[in-house]
Amino acid sequence: MIARVSLEIALRKEFDYLIPPGLAGQIEAGSRVQVPFGARKVFGTVTALAEESALAHLKPILKIIGAQTMVTPKVLKLARWIAEYYCCAPEIALKSVLPEAVRKKKETEAGWKKQLFVRALPASGEFPKLPKRQREVWNIIEERREVLLTELVELAETTAATVRKLEDRGLVEITSEISERDPYAREYILPTQPLPLNPAQSAALEKIRRAMNRSEDRGLKMEDGRHLTPTLSLLLAGSQRGEGENPSSILHPPSLTFLLHGVTGSGKTEVYLQALAHALEQGKGAIVLVPEISLTPQTVERFKARFSSGKLQTLVAILHSHLSAGERHDEWHKIRQGRARIVIGARSAIFAPVEPLGLIIVDEEHEHTYKQEEAPRYHARDVAIMRGQMENAVVVLGSATPSLESYYNCKKGKYTLLELPERVDNRKMPHVRVVDMRQAARGEKGIPIFSPQLKEAITQRLERGEQTILFLNRRGYSTALQCPKCGYVANCPNCSLALTYHRPEQKLRCHICGFADAVPAVCPNEKCKNPAIRYAGLGTQKVEETLAKLFPNARVRRMDADTMKRKDDYRKTLGDFRTGKTDILVGTQMIAKGLHFPNVTLVGIIYADLALHQPDFRAGERIFQLLTQVAGRAGRGDVEGEVFVQAFTPFHPAIQYARHHDFTGFYEQEIEFREQLKYPPISRVALLTLRGRNEDKVKFSAEHLKRELEKNLASEEPLSWSREGGTTLSPPSGERAGARSALKDLIISGPAPAPLLRAESFYRYQIMLRTRAMSKLSQTLAKIIETLALPEDVTLAVDVDPVNFG
Ligand code: ADP
Ligand code: ZN
């Protein structure tokens, strides 16, 4: 037998190896193996088995890693799709589906942790008379039945030698066993029961449950193992049951994907929890994706409390970057062994080996952190939908501010829209006031941070003992160091970006590459040397400082990437806020999401239009989402909430629609703009970025690439398939690449300098491609890239469905 192996060294190729007799029957698709490659030994994943190879003199596989297939065939298939759709090397896609901690396989590094356990043995014969120390130790063991040796030694204030004496007497046994690291073992979580749902929640849950029941019947397979398309299987199912009369139900099979659009505080999580319970009842598992930033102890606790509050239960596994490598290793294996059935995690948890998979939930589906910004540049929400389709699992996307993509798919009938239009318990949406900062700035020196209205509102809250959240999407003290005389701005030497002034450490810092520099005492411009160099712009540090001056008695805390450096900072700051030890919390987007503090009655957004000037067609959408999310932090208790939005463009539609909590209004006007410019969701985008230290070479390479693209993609002969494209997730089969496979609707723009032309001392030029038929484009792109000749020091990155245009 032959195994085809994808190696973990970037080669974009698979290699055949012999399966030696000693490993026969143990290797299957998905096994991790070690193989010889030249003089080296490298790791790889078996992607397929075959009877024979076209090549002679194959080398044998050296060994198999791990007892269980690491990548299940289903996840393997998903990785394949990622490589194709996101146009990256298969080995890179494969690598990303296993956590680093699981892939590394030196037993010592991050394997199972073994520890010594002491266990009482059943009594036989007369109980011996023990010396006092041994007696005391024995009492503890007897009471606990089983205890970690280290713990026992600590508890009994004794030594291992004393415990060994008990072992010699045959009273206890000491064994080395795997001890599972449970990152939440120390927490005591009170179990919760399902809440009675309100009518909107019930209706949503009912539809999800029905789809889950239906999907159970859908697991029909063709004889050769391929899955039927949902349409086809429904057609078959329908005709078997004599229900095939309604053609519309055949053309539009009820979708397995839902968009749960619920305003902030409408009880989406309770719907998730009860849908998860249904998956368990069906004997299936589930994955819950949460943005990294919302994966707080508070969030984890809500899920654990419902499904695994007992000490020994492992039903809920958590995967996120704050776990130690060992913890991640153990959590992953709990899932692989089927002991954990519900997985909660950030982006990469979408690859968790849950089987069978009944449900995937993507909370805050509009979040841009679901997009991975390095290869493979996948979008976890879209991977979730693909995985759902492949495994017949129901997918629920949830958000108070759905992405235009998902809402558009509802309008097109591809997803089913579920709505929770009101907050639970009839709590009111907060009252949003927009403050025109152009007026507030009148008669002031410079631009004020606080308008009189916001100042007044904060004063009231302090008097009433209520809490305030202030939001500014920029950390640091001020944006730039600028000389008012000559106009000099302190720029990063590596990036085309101004440095940010950080006051506590008296440094200028680049937020792109991390470069840090001392603050000059005079203007560094040789001809100027003005000592009155000034700071322009505003960051969270300055907000904090100004607050201290305005409200000397208020207890203020700041929460941003600079103050949240250690693992525990986040928990501690939020804990103090929750228990009322803090009056005002100042922060960046870190505080915008998911927090639930009933005593917060005021939210202030310092400069709402900061992000409007970004070179990104989603700028308006981002502002709308941000304002709605931040505003949603107010008034989650009994007192109605109030929100002040300070803006220099108060009549911008994104701000006005957010103010009126009008998502559909925003959607309608925004989709029109996207339609006109053929931006997503009307089309899909691939962004090609060329990068190198020599600007001319980068520019030249970009122009060369553009010509190649035109030659290969923009043929005049349109093919018929492109008409129905745009939404196909899997590539249409049987197409030939090359000049003939023109993409009728393709728009090629650029090359143009990237908005941030220079980053980390590399120049970047971009070409943007827009088409409805992205799968097709990806396929062709892969071929073009394979033969593309670029100078050695220029690299090309392909980003399919980009969210970051910087
Ligand atoms: P969302 O995720 O939509 O912002 P949450 O799920 O956080 O909203 O719900 C807000 C609060 O309302 C939570 O404290 C939750 O326990 C509570 N809640 C949810 N559903 C109900 C219900 N049916 N009855 C009473 N309280 C509920
Ligand atoms: Zn820099």
Burial class (CB in 10 A: 0-12, 13-18, 19+), 601: buried
Q: Where does the pLDDT of residue 43 fall: very low under 50, low under 70, confident under 90, or very high at 90 and above? A: confident
Q: Using 50, 70 and 90 to split pLDDT, how confident is the model at 246?
A: very low
Task: Assign 3-class secondary structure to 411-447.
Answer: HCCCCEEEEECCCHHHCCCCEEEEEEHHHHHCCCCCC
Contact between 375 and 797 (Cβ < 8 Å)? yes
**Intra-chain end-to-end CA distance of the chain, in Å:** 49
**DSSP assignments along 260-329, one per residue:** EEE-TTS-HHHHHHHHHHHHHHTT-EEEEE--GGG--HHHHHHHHHHH--SSS---EEEE-TTS-HHHHH
Q: Is 264 in the pocket of ligand 1 (CB under 6 A)?
A: yes
C-alpha triplet 401, 369, 255: angle, nearest 5°: 55
* Three-state DSSP state, 571: helix
**Distance between Cα 423 and ligand 1 center (Å):** 8
Ligand nearest to the CA of residue 261, numbered in listed order: 1
Distance separating alpha carbons of residues 328 and 333, to the nearest angstrom: 9
How many angstroms separate the alpha carbon of residue 394 from the centre of ligand 1? Answer: 22
**What's the 333 CA to ligand 2 centre distance in angstroms?**
40
pLDDT of residue 179: 61
Residue 72 — pLDDT band, cuts 50, 70, 90? confident
Higher pLDDT, 293 or 345: 345
Predicted pLDDT of residue 690 = 95
In short, whether 265's Cβ falls inside 6 Å of ligand 1 is yes
Compute the half-sphere exposure of residue 345: CA atoms within 13 Å on the CB side of its CA. Answer: 29
The residue-averaged pLDDT of 316-337 equals 82
Residue 95's contacts (CB-CB under 8 Å, 6 or more residues apart) are 8, 103
Q: Residue 248: what pLDDT?
A: 37
Alpha helices in 498-607 (DSSP H): 540-550, 569-578
What's the rounded mean pLDDT across residues 617-643? 82
Considering every ligand atom shown, identify the ligand nearest to the alpha carbon of residue 306 and give its number. 1
Look at residue 254 in the predicted model and tell me its pLDDT. 56
Q: Which residue has the least CA distance to atom 13 on ligand 1?
A: 267
Q: How far is residue 652's CA from residue 631's CA, in Å, rounded to a whole number? A: 17
Q: What is the mean pLDDT of residues 519-532?
A: 83
Nearest CA to ligand 1 atom 18: 267
pLDDT number for residue 408 = 96
What's residue 334's pLDDT? 86
CA–CA separation, 398 vs 259, rounded Å?
Answer: 6
Name the DSSP letter for residue 591: G
Closest among 408, 362, 366, 412 to 385, alpha carbons compared? 362
Q: How confident is the model at residue 110 (pLDDT cuts 50, 70, 90)?
A: very low
Host H or E run for residue 689: strand 684-692
Tell me how far apart the alpha carbons of residues 621 and 612 are, in angstroms, rounded to a whole number.
Answer: 9
> Which amino acid residue places its CA nearest to atom 9 of ligand 1?
267
Q: What's the rounded Cα separation, in Å, for the pair 155 and 141?
A: 10
Task: List pLDDT tens digits, range 661-707.
Answer: 899 999 999 999 999 888 999 999 999 999 999 999 999 999 999 99
Q: Is the CB of 192 under 6 A from ligand 1?
A: no
Residue 633 pLDDT level (bands cut at 50, 70, 90): confident
* DSSP conformation class of 742: B
Task: Give dist(CA 78, CA 357) in Å, integer.
Answer: 14
Neighbours of ion ligand 2 (CB under 5 A): 492, 494-495, 510, 512-513, 515
516 alpha carbon – ligand 2 mean position (Å)? 9
777 burial via Cβ count (<10 Å: 0-12, 13-18, 19+): buried
Give the whole-angstrom CA distance, residue 333 versus residue 264.
35
pLDDT value, residue 604: 92
Name which residue leads in pLDDT, 234 or 322.
322
Predicted local distance difference test score (pLDDT) of residue 268? 95
HSE-up of 395 (CA within 13 Å, CB side)? 24
pLDDT, tens digit, 9 for 90 and up, residues 730-741: 333 433 334 344
Q: Are 671 and 408 in contact (CB under 8 A)?
A: yes
* Whole-angstrom distance, CA of residue 658 vs CA of residue 583: 26
At residue 68, the pLDDT reads: 64
Measured CA distances, 506 to 172, 477, 500 (Å)? 61, 10, 11
The residue with greater pLDDT, 540 or 589, is 540
Report pLDDT for 723. 33
* 3-state SS, residue 124: coil
Tell whether ligand 1 has an atom less than 6 A from the beta carbon of residue 661.
Answer: no
Percent of the chain scored above 90 by pLDDT? Answer: 33
Provide the total of helices (H) and of strands (E) in the chain, helices listed first.
Answer: 24, 30
pLDDT of the residue at 615? 67
Q: How far is CA 204 from CA 105, 255, 397, 621, in A?
A: 44, 14, 12, 26
Instruction: Return the structure tokens found at 173.
Output: 């046994």
Q: Which comes out higher in pLDDT, residue 165 or 111?
A: 165
Query: What pLDDT score does 623 carry?
Result: 87
**Interval between CA 514 and ligand 2 midpoint (Å):** 6
**Most confident listed range (107-121, 386-400, 510-524):** 386-400
Does residue 266 have its Cβ closer than 6 Å to ligand 1? yes
Neighbours of 170 (CB within 10 A): 12
225's enclosing H/E stretch is: none
725-782 per-position pLDDT tens digit: 333 333 334 333 343 445 788 888 888 888 778 888 899 999 999 999 898 899 889 8
Q: What angle do CA 356, 359, 362 make, to 5 degrees?
A: 135
Strand spans (E) along 96-137: 114-120
